[in-house]
Structure formats: structure tokens, C-alpha cells
Amino acid sequence: MKTKKNFLKGPLTDTQLLMTITIGIFVLMYLLAIVFLQGGFLHVQQIFDMLNDNASLIIVSCGLTIVMITGGIDISVGAVTSLVVMACVLYLNGGGNVFMSILLALGIGLAFGLVHGFLVSYLDIQPFIVTLAGMFFARGMTTILSVNPQKAEHEGFTKLRETQIIIPWLGYTAKNGNVVPARIEIGVLVAIFCLIVVFLILTFHKLGRGFYAIGGNQTSALMLGINVKKTRFFAYIFSGLLSGISGFVLMMHTGAGNATNAAGMEMNAIASSIIGGTLLTGGVGNVIGTFFGTLTLTTIKKIVVSSGLNDPWWQSITTGGMLCFFILLQSVVLSRRNKNKKAA
């Protein structure tokens, strides 16, 4: 009986509603792209390419979503990713082995997460300032390590990097008659693995429910017996660790360390999370939504490029416009809902 009543009032929570909107719009946009700009959008490879190019962004956005659910922000993620790429490439070129470089990547990410988490949750400093300093530090360290781009020339790593999963039956026939099979990079598998793990933690684990609780209302979370400081601490550790993983994935994608790697990634990650229905005020959000947010963002860019708006400024102007549209849509939907709730 009770569930039925809730169902009538509104079958979805805020999180689910915003997520559904995102997925709906993504599907709609993709269909529009197929109809109006046939081109490559019909091939499965188009989706795989989007995943291949954005594996590291997806991973970073997952971490950021966790932090944003707790009501905080982590703008250091892009810089940490870039630092990890540079450090790992230098380590590999200096004669290290692949396994140790993975540990190095995780270690750097974890270190940033620990410091951020400690400063934010135990010393009560504003997360924006702490992670801004973290961003400056990571960007500065990257150039201190090397100003010039470094290419990874390690044999084992090159093998790992060139490993791709090939699915012939999803391929397409090119104009010259060759069959081009569909290709997925290993990074995508890592990204999807991270996505599932984060999703399971957020949905079923005590810690994950704690993230939502302290993001929704810190005082009531405290009264429920949740260790607010520790929970927040863990959120930043997750974000740091995922930045480390994302760095390694980006290195597998690009194969070189560069001071401008992952430039602006933090803003792309924030945009993905927002489009995916995460609120910066905390308490609302989901990584599945974030995943579709990333895809939506990429689809917008692809549509702009393939629809012939070749001037360099159109891509970011339309991205900004879409961002504006999503933000307004969410704001209107949520305020309507709140009004309905109050009326009921």
C-alpha cells in the first residue's frame, strides 16, 4: 500500500529523474545525428571511438561525481591525471616495469586524495581552495618533471598499449570494400570496470549511502550516526585514486607525457557530472548518469564538427549552449517537483 502511494506521488527519486532525462536526451540526440548527418553515426565503431577517446574522462568523472554527491568539489583531477601520465612515462623510459608503473599511478593518485581529504574533512578548509592548490601543485610538478613532451618507448608497455579487442562482426565495410572490424581499447574496459565498482559502492555499500547522506544534510547524517569526517575523507580518496587510474588509461591512449595533457579535463568532468544529473549542492547524482553525461558532451562536439561548423569557436560555444540548456532544464524540473511536493 505504502509503495503504491509513493509510486503515485512520483515513481522516481530526484537522482533517477535527472538521470532519465539525460539518457533520454542522449538517445534523442544520437538518433537526430543519425537521421540528419548519416555519416559515421550509424556505425557501432562511432560509439566505440567515443569510448576510446574518453575512457579517462569517464573514470575521472566517476570520482568527481562521488565528491560532488558529498557536496564538495575536486578541481585537481585533470592536473593529477596529467602528472600521473608524465611520471609514469618518465619512469617507464628510465627502465621501470609496467606493473610498478601502475602502482606508481595509483600511489600518486592516492597521495593527492589523502592530502585533499585530510585538509578538507579534518581541517575544515573549503574544498575549492584545497583542490585548487592541488591542481596548481600537480600542474607545476608536471612541468618540473619535464617541459618537453616525452614519448613512452618501453617495450612491454607498447605491447600493452597496442592491445585492442577486435570484434569483427560489429565492423563495417569501408568504401574501398575492406571490412573494418570494431576496435575497443583496454582503457575502455578499465573505465567500465571502475564505473560498475563505483555504482555498486554508491548503491549498495554503507559508505556509498553515507556519501548521499552527508551531501543531503550533514547534520542529520551526523545524527544518524554517520562518521561525517571519515566519509568525506573517503570521498576524496576515491577521487584521487580514480584520477591515478585515469592517468594510466590516458597514457595507454596517448602513449606520451605532455605538460598540456588533460588540459581543461576538470571542467569537462564537472560538465559531464552536471549533465548527468549531479547537483553541486550534494545529495543527488549517479555515476550512470555521469557516464551518459560524458557521452552526451562528446556527441554534441561530434555533431558540431560533422555538421560543417568548421570555425574553431563553434565547438565550445555550442557546448556552452547545451550546458546552459541542461542546467536550466534541471533547475526548472527540480523547482517544479519541490512545488508539487509542498502542495502535496
Partner 1 sequence: MKNKSKNIFKGGLGQLTIPIIAICLLVIFNLIRDPSFFSIGITHNNDGNIVLAGNLISIINAASELAVLAMGMTLVTAASGGQDISVGAAAAIAGSAFVKVLKSGSGITGGTVLLAFLVACVVAMLFGAFNGTLVAVFKIQPMIATLILYTCGRSIAYWINGGATPTVSGSILTAIGSFIPGIPIPTPVIIVIVVAIIFRLVFHFTSLELFTQSVGINGSAARLNGINSTWIKLLSFIILGLCVAVAGVISVCRLGLINHETILLDVEMDAILAVAIGGNSLGGGKFKISGSIIGAYVIHMLTITLYAMKVSSTDVKAYKAIVIILLVVIGSPVIKSRFTKLMTRLKNKKPEASLKGAL
Q: Which residues bind partner 1 (CB under 8 A)?
A: 73, 119, 122-126, 128-130, 132-137, 139-141, 143-144, 147, 259, 267, 270-271, 274, 279-281, 311-321, 323-324, 327-328, 331-332, 335
Q: Judged by CB, which is closer to partner 1: 6, or 335?
A: 335
Say if residue 113 is exposed, middle or buried (CB neighbours under 10 Å; 0-12, 13-18, 19+): buried
Question: Closer to partner 1 at the Cβ: 116 or 253?
Answer: 116
CB of 31 to partner 1, least distance (A): 25
Q: At what angle do helices 228-254 and 206-216 cross, to 10 degrees?
A: 110
Find the shortest distance in angstroms from Cβ 191 to partner 1: 23
Q: Which residue, 147, 144, 87, is CA-closest to 111? A: 87
Of the candidates 75, 53, 51, the one whose C-alpha atom is nearest the C-alpha of residue 63 is 75
Cβ contact 50:302 at 8 Å: yes
Q: How far is the CB of 86 from partner 1 (least distance, A)?
A: 12
The answer to whether 113 and 246 are in contact (CB under 8 A) is: no
Q: Which is nearer to partner 1, 246 or 278 (CB)?
A: 278
Whichever of 49 and 266 has its CB closer to partner 1, that residue is 266
Reduced to 3 states, what is the DSSP secondary structure of residue 78?
helix
3-class DSSP assignment, residue 168: strand
Residue 189 beta carbon to partner 1: minimum distance, rounded to whole angstroms: 30
3-state secondary structure of 255: coil
Q: Which is nearer to partner 1, 102 or 280 (CB)?
A: 280
In the complex, the smallest distance separating the C-beta of residue 274 from partner 1, rounded to whole angstroms, is 6
